[in-house]
Amino acid sequence: MRTGGFRHLPVIDQDQLIGVISIRDIYAAVMQDLEGNFGKAMKERAKAMLSAS
């Protein structure tokens, strides 16, 4: 999207427009996923450290 200079893309299902997605939508989804994975990794690490003691 950035390379082509597009900020919005159509979402099409079986030749029918069902929505539009923006680069901001993608950014928000990626950030939410990264934050969730980071939190999960930290909890697992803390659990491992506590069980090793």
Compute the distance between CA of residue 52 and CA of residue 14 in angstroms, rounded to an integer.
53
CA–CA dist 42, 6 (Å, integer): 36
Residue-level pLDDT at 53: 62
Q: 9: burial class by Cβ within 10 Å (0-12, 13-18, 19+)?
A: middle
Instruction: Write down the pLDDT at residue 36.
Output: 84
Q: How many domains does the chain have?
A: 1
Residues 1-53 have pLDDT tens digits of 878 888 999 999 999 999 999 999 999 998 888 888 888 888 888 888 888 76
Residue 3 lies in a domain: no
Structural domain harbouring 43: 24-53
